[in-house]
A and B are shown apart, each in its own frame.
Chain A
């Protein structure tokens, strides 16, 4: 459905995208995962024909994004990162307006949005500006879906939304995918990667890795440990000076440490080093890598 070949984009001095190669298959829920400034929005804008790439080729639904502007705009649904509805129009008015803009009516495609719309229907007379963050995103999704697009581009739909609504939102995307809609979604939250069929980890305009979340985790080759101790900050600084360490960074309430070698003695060596440094209380446990670990590792290379 979406093919990107060697896409490059710069804004003056700033390089937004470098040699992006992607292939999103039909009926897939594909995630662009990466922090702010990774180039996710630029890539979306190229794919929905809003900006032109400096070089490289992109096709959406078999159509070239630089030449088939009209055809692509007819067949995609797009939800930009910022809340992009009319704040002074009610829920109902927004939906109706976007339905007519796309030459259709709310009734014609109600089936598709029903699951989502019933959740905001009690507030249909309320102005969109007065909705909560989660509600706004649901309304925006309804508006992006109202013309029954073949492929949906959602730019950071869960940013600024509470954790419960985020889970709900991903459930909705799952149901849409089951209906056969191809979805390309971006998010800065690494923990949402597992909700996607395949992901591209992005940083500084590069796609670090494009694969299923499982394969990306499986490709993490180094032994990974979580450490907790009383003096977390001092521990982090000391660990970074540890000879056997490959990388170490703060990760929520623990530090994640990768060791340079898989050798049997490595873990015992680390324990005795911790004792010597005065972290007798340190809790050390071997863990499975999550997507964020993979991202940190890939970003180092």
Chain B
């Protein structure tokens, strides 16, 4: 025990003395939340919108007022004919148009050169129009559950957690272990009575702690800065994050058994681990739309299960019993990866 303790203290020395890396690790979640929350936002704000009203009655006027009042749309002057609408679209002066027929039927036109934006615009407008007491569009009463304002933050906060935990736990752990190999200290440590798994355990501990700090940072920022609700239990979300961090640590350990240099470790964790989290976890691209091969790969990406589960708990307020599927898959991944990497971990050079 004393060996392990002094080994962990040594690891903290390494991390604390490399203050630049430590700062990056601690500030990264803040930067990412800010970036996704404010800069790379897919949320819609003040979209220039034209209204062509042929009905001229109070209900329509109220609807137009509500569109105007929402932060999503900004009405574009007066439009008199459908030709004007098309002209404005071509000139890029508007991205959506609302056309109300004399019989009070509403038609929405959206600029679909950016398909995602167009879809969102239609959804927003539909929601507003339906709530304004007009007859429901296309006869379908649409109701958006859990995230009626279609806030992007609800989606990317779990995504950022999935990304950062992989980055810190897998990349830093694998680089940390490989560094001992590269500098030759691993040779000395192996030729000692110490249990080699203490090396792994000691490497993982500080990064697990940093991940906890990061999880707290992300959750606090998303709750109080971005206004993402926490419908389920905080403890369950933190527990999920820890479970996922364990998967990442095992992946890091596995990588460290396969490569000889820190650069290779960094490259592999970057490409083999980070890319799937971004591309295949459903964080950005919906998994359902992928070709079957990618869909299969997506199902073995731990982040996919983690992100789904976190969304379920944070946004839908599900309980542990209701996300048992994701929990058991992540647990199985931890056990499988741990067993495999322990088997691969060499007690010789």
A interface residues, Cβ below 8 angstroms from B:
45, 48-52, 69-70, 73-74, 76, 78-89, 93, 96-98, 100-103, 143-144
Interface of B is mostly: helix
Residue of A85, A86, A101 with most chain B CB atoms under a 10 A cut-off: A101
CA distance A179 to B191 in the complex (A): 23
In angstroms, Cα B184 to Cα A78, docked, is 12
Q: List B residues 21-72 near A (Cβ within 8 Å).
A: none
- Is the C-beta of B80 less than 8 angstroms from some C-beta in chain A? no
For the complex, what is the distance from the CA of A14 to the CA of B348, rounded to whole Å? 20
Q: Is the CB of A100 within 8 A of B188?
A: no
Stretch at the interface among B5-13, B83-91, B104-112, B301-309: B5-13
In whole angstroms, how far apart are the Cα atoms of A80 and B183 in the complex? 10
Can you list 19 A-B pairs, Cβ within 8 angstroms, ordered by A?
A51-B349, A76-B191, A80-B187, A81-B184, A84-B188, A85-B185, A86-B10, A88-B17, A89-B13, A89-B14, A93-B13, A97-B6, A100-B3, A101-B189, A101-B192, A102-B192, A102-B194, A103-B3, A103-B193
Given A51-B349, A88-B13: A73 in contact with B190 (beta carbons within 8 A)? yes
User: What band does the interface of chain B fall in when counting residues whose beta carbon is under 8 Å from A?
Assistant: 20 to 34
| A49 CA / B188 CA spacing, docked (Å) | 11
Task: Give A251 Cβ to nearest chain B Cβ, in Å.
Answer: 33
Contact (Cβ within 8 A) A93 B10? yes
Bound-state CA distance A35–B230 (Å) is 67
Q: Is B235 an interface residue (CB 8 A)?
A: no
Expressed in whole angstroms, the Cα–Cα distance for A103 and B2 within the complex equals 8
| Given known A-B contacts A50-B348, A84-B183, A100 and B6 have beta carbons under 8 A apart | yes
Q: Check A84–B184 contact: CB distance below 8 A.
A: yes
- Which B residues fall within an 8 A CB radius of A? 2-3, 6-7, 10, 13-14, 17-18, 183-185, 187-194, 347-349
Which 4 A-B pairs rank lowest in CB-CB distance, beginning with the nearest?
A84-B184, A100-B6, A82-B184, A78-B191
Q: Which residues of A contact B185 (CB under 8 A)?
A: 84-86
Q: Nearest Cβ in chain B — how far from A264, in angstroms? A: 56
A-B contacts, CB under 8 A, total: 77
Would you call B187 and A50 a contact (CB within 8 A)? Answer: yes
Query: What separation, in Å, do the CA atoms of A144 and B3 have in the docked complex?
Result: 16
Cα–Cα distance between A93 and B14 once the two chains are bound (Å): 11
Is the Cβ of A69 less than 8 Å from the Cβ of B347? yes
CB neighbours of B347 from chain A (8 A): 69
CB-nearest residue of chain B to A105:
B2
Q: In the bound complex, do residue B188 and residue A74 qualify as a contact, i.e. CB atoms below 8 Å apart?
A: no
Would B348 and A101 count as touching, CB distance under 8 A?
no
Judging by beta carbons under 8 Å apart, are A78 and B193 in contact? Answer: no
Min CB distance B201 to A, Å, is 14
How distant is the Cα of A49 from the Cα of B14 in the complex, in angstroms? 28
Known: A83-B184, A88-B14. 13 other contacts (CB 8 A): A52-B348, A69-B347, A73-B193, A78-B187, A78-B191, A82-B183, A84-B188, A89-B14, A98-B188, A100-B7, A101-B6, A143-B188, A144-B188
Residues of A near B13 (CB, < 8 A) are: 88-89, 93
Instruction: Please state if A78 and B188 are interface contacts (CB–CB under 8 Å).
Output: yes
Complex Cα spacing A101 to B18, Å: 23
